[in-house]
Structure 1
């Protein structure tokens, strides 16, 4: 029996059994403020886009939930239910453990470099959307609901900036951890130095917007 475990602005997420495997079903719901025909088209496009990004991650050897089935009538993706804990939980439980923070930073930096190498922008990077797989301790990227394909340096830099803001707002005194993520990213990414330079520009724009209000 499906159990609702999360509801956001775009979708409902249910935990269930899918032919003997623990799974989640992510169901995108209709937006009543949009014209029904347009809404159906946009919602279907987002479901397909998310599934494609997950497939591409699997093909590239990036740890992400395996897709089991796509229901294009109900705009639902059935996928692997990751057993483990979020990076957010790991950092909270291990507060003050610098060795743990360094290890996580390297894993995150490498995973994001691999993701950007196949030209996928996650779009919603937070420590709640990064999991540690229970069986292997591998870093898993989840929730590709806002993901898209892009080879632009700007988009990659913004992806990192979103994660940085998430770190600073959720994990006090985490500047060193994020610096470790950036170092690992630059080492692994094909265009790491360019992305780092653009990240500085994005940060500057963000500070200006904050000052203006």
Structure 2
């Protein structure tokens, strides 16, 4: 398997590879050692973060939030092996594409709104189960086909044939407090503003999906989000 690993990207905390595991397309997330930490402390922190991420993925499955399937958790090599959606596209790339070469071929507002509602519904299911993602960005959201017999059938702009999958739970944790859920929404809003300012209404459309199951049940979370939002704006104004 070692020879089969192909590096896809490297972040501040981990390297991500693709390979084949037991004949299946696989993504491997490997957390590398931080040399500035004592080796024993680093091993302890890394093991706990791997455990939390694996638990988060399993918890998502239990509450109906689509994520890659877990294949293997290897603490000794600091790795998580999980399903690789070979036919998928990130929401970030979808929104960028909608504003570029494909914008004249499809109904841009309809696609962006429906994708946004899918995002809101997924985040609501997370929060209803007291899960905080911690890094809600459009890079950590994939559109994957519900059914696929042929690669040519994958049409990312046909949202009726797609599901939203959340990925990268490295910063996730379990918390029932409305404050944490409000911060989760604020992180998403700031990510959208910085990356997708061509879509001024997209966060409001996401909130349509978030409140679709009922707004009263998340009233405290929405109130906390407004508080966090106000604090953020104040810091921006003050500098």
Q: TM-score range by the shorter chain?
A: over 0.9
Work out the CA distance in 1 between the residues paired with 2:218 and 2:49.
28
Between the aligned partners of 1:29 and 1:212, the Cα distance in structure 2 is 38
* Residue 216 of structure 2 is aligned to residue 212 of structure 1: no
Between 1:200-209 and 1:94-103, the stretch displaced more is 94-103
How far did 1:118 drift?
Answer: 1.2
Question: Please, which runs of 5 or more residues in structure 1 have no aligned partner?
Answer: none
Distance in 1, Cα, partners of 2:119 & 2:22: 32
Match of 2:122 in 1: 111
The 5 A counterparts of 1:19-168 are 19-82=22-85, 83-95=87-99, 97-134=108-145, 135=147, 136-168=161-193
Which ranges of structure 2 fall in alignment gaps of 5 or more residues?
148-160
TM superposition shift of 1:101? 1.1
Structure of higher CA gyration radius: 2
Q: Distance in 2 between matches of 1:28 and 1:188?
A: 37
Secondary structure of the 1:200 match is helix
For residues 90 and 173 of structure 1, the distance between their equivalents in structure 2, rounded to whole angstroms, comes to 13
Question: What RMSD, in angstroms, separates the aligned Cα atoms of the two structures?
Answer: 1.3
| TM-score normalised to structure 2 length | 0.86
Superposed CA deviations along residues 152-171 of structure 1, whole A, max 9, x for unmatched, are 10111111111111111111
- 2-side partners of 1:158 and 1:199: how far apart? 6
Matched positions, count? 213
Deviation at 1:191, TM superposition (A): 3.3
